[in-house]
Amino acid sequence: MLKRGGTIGILGGGQLGRMMAMSAVQLGYRCIAYAPDGDTVAADVCDDVFTNRWDDTAALAAFAAKCDVVTWEFENVPIATAVAMPGGRIFPHPRALETAQDRLNEKRFVEGLGGKPAAYARVDSPGELMAAVDRLGAPGILKTRRDGYDGKGQWRIGSSRDADALRLPDAPLIYEGFVEFGAEFSVILVRGQDGEIRFWDSTRNVHEDGILSASLWPAGELVDAQVVEARRLAGEVADALKYVGVLTCEFFATHEGPIFNEMAPRVHNSGHWTIEGAATSQFENHIRAVAGLPLGDTATTAAGVEMRNILGGEIEGAHAFLADADSHLHDYGKREVREGRKMGHLTRLTRA
C-alpha cells in the first residue's frame, strides 16, 4: 500500500492525467507527469513534469527514480517506455498496452476469451483489402491497427470501388465489417491489486463524426439487457491481463447480443460522469487501485446522468451552462482551441 505523501508518476499529460492527479492529491499523494507532447494540462496539478522524448532513457530513469508507482493516462504510450519503468511498480502491467495497441491482436485476444468482435480481416496490401471487402462485404471500416482515436486513422468503405480507389497508408491495417447496432455502450470496471472487480453502470454513448458526443444513463432497455454478458467478458479480459486500475471495454448492442468494439486500458471519456454521478469516480478508484488501497463504491447516486463533451470554441461560453444548478463544468485548461478538440465536459444530474 502506497503511504501518504507517496509519489505517483503519470505517463502522459492530458486531461485524463489531470483528473487522475486531482484525485490523487485528494487522497494525500503527489503526482509528477512524463509528457513529451505539448499542451500538458496535467502539469497544472502535478508537482513536476518531464517533457523529454519518450525514448530518452536518462530522463525516463530520472522520472522513475522519483516515483513510488507509475501509471498511464492514454493507451499510445510506447511499450518500451512502459517497460522501462521498474517492474512491480507500474500499473496496469505493460501487457495491457501490448494487447490494446494493435487492433488485430486485441480482437484475437478477445475471441480467445469467448468474446465476439465485428467480423474482421488483416490488410497489408491493396489486394488484401479487395479480398476483405469481397469476403466481409461493404459497407465496412478500414482502420490502422495502431494509433488512431476519435475517428482518426479510419476510412469508411462503401463499396469495392471505394476500396480500389483508396491509397493505403504505409501502416498495418484491419478491415471491419459493418455492424448493425441499436446502441453503443461502455463497460467500465476497476480491478484492485487483490483481484477484486467493481463495475460502474453502463452508459449509452452517442458519437458524432467519430468523437464521443454524449454519455447517457439510464442507457435504455436494449443496453440494459446486454450489460451482464458484456460485463462477463470485460471481467475475463481484466483477469486474463491481471489488470490493476480502470479498464474500459466498448460494445455495440445488437440483436445478436453485445459485439465487442475495442478496449481502452485506462480511465475513459464515457466515465467522466462518475465524478459527480457515482459514489466513487473512475479517477479516484484508479488511484486507489494503483496505490493498493481498498476500492470505493461504484454505485450511481443520481436518478439520471447526462455527460456531454465540450468541443473547440464551445468552451468560450461554457460558464452559461452553470445557470442550471444540476450542471457541473470541467474545463481542461487547454490553451489552443481547435475544431473538434475536447476542451472540457459538462455533467448534468437528474435527482431522485
75 labelled binding-site residue: no
110 labelled binding-site residue: no
Q: Please give the distance of CA 143 from its chain centroid, rounded to a whole number.
A: 17
242 labelled binding-site residue: no
Measured in degrees and rounded to the nearest 5, phi and psi for residue 349 equal -105, 140
177 labelled binding-site residue: yes
Do the bridges between strand 197-199 and strand 183-191 make them parallel or antiparallel, or are there none, so unpaired?
A: antiparallel
How many Å apart are CA 40 and CA 312, to the nearest integer?
Answer: 17
User: Using a CB cutoff of 8 Å and minimum separation of 24, what contacts does 208-214 make?
Assistant: 209/151, 209/340, 210/150, 210/151, 210/152, 210/154, 211/150, 211/151, 211/309, 211/311, 211/340, 211/342, 212/150, 212/269, 212/270, 212/309, 213/308, 213/309, 214/306, 214/307, 214/308, 214/309
CB 12 within 8 A of CB 35: yes
262 labelled binding-site residue: yes
* Fold exhibited by the domain 119-177: Dna Ligase; domain 1 (3.30.1490)
* Fold exhibited by the domain 7-90: Rossmann fold (3.40.50)
Written as one letter, the residue type at 105 is N
151 labelled binding-site residue: yes
152 labelled binding-site residue: yes
Q: Give SS3 for 314.
A: helix
- Grid coordinates of 195: 483481484
pLDDT reported for residue 201: 98
How many Å apart are CA 279 and CA 299, to the nearest integer?
Answer: 6
148 labelled binding-site residue: yes
- Report the side by side order of strands in the sheet with 69-72: 48-50, 30-34, 7-11, 69-72
Q: Give the CA distances from residue 172 to residues 123, 144, 154, 234, 303, in Å, rounded to whole numbers and listed in that order.
A: 7, 6, 12, 26, 45
Q: Give the CA distances from residue 41 to residues 92, 93, 227, 270, 295, in Å, rounded to whole numbers and listed in that order.
A: 22, 25, 34, 20, 27
Question: Which residues are CB-contacts of 289 (< 8 A; sequence separation ≥ 6)?
Answer: 91, 190, 191, 192, 193, 244, 245, 246, 295
Spell out, as residue ranges, where the chain has pLDDT lower than 50.
none
CB 223 within 8 A of CB 185: yes
CA-wise closest residue to 292 among 154, 163, 195: 195
pLDDT reported for residue 159: 84
179 labelled binding-site residue: yes
CA-wise closest residue to 16 among 289, 312, 265, 348: 265
Q: Give the CA distances from residue 28 to residues 34, 221, 281, 306, in Å, rounded to whole numbers and listed in that order.
A: 20, 41, 16, 30
304 labelled binding-site residue: no
Domain boundaries, the chain: 7-90, 119-177, 183-350
- Grid coordinates of 206: 452517442
153 labelled binding-site residue: yes
Specify the CATH number for 183-350; select among 3.40.50.2300, 3.10.290.10, 3.20.20.70, 3.30.470.20.
3.30.470.20
176 labelled binding-site residue: yes
pLDDT digits (tens, 9 = 90+) for 124-178: 998 999 999 999 999 999 999 987 665 668 899 988 888 877 888 888 999 999 9
271 labelled binding-site residue: no
143 labelled binding-site residue: yes
CA-wise closest residue to 250 among 260, 242, 258: 260
Place of cell 436518478: 303
178 labelled binding-site residue: yes
- Grid coordinates of 229: 454478458
DSSP at 306: E
pLDDT reported for residue 212: 96
- Grid coordinates of 177: 465489417
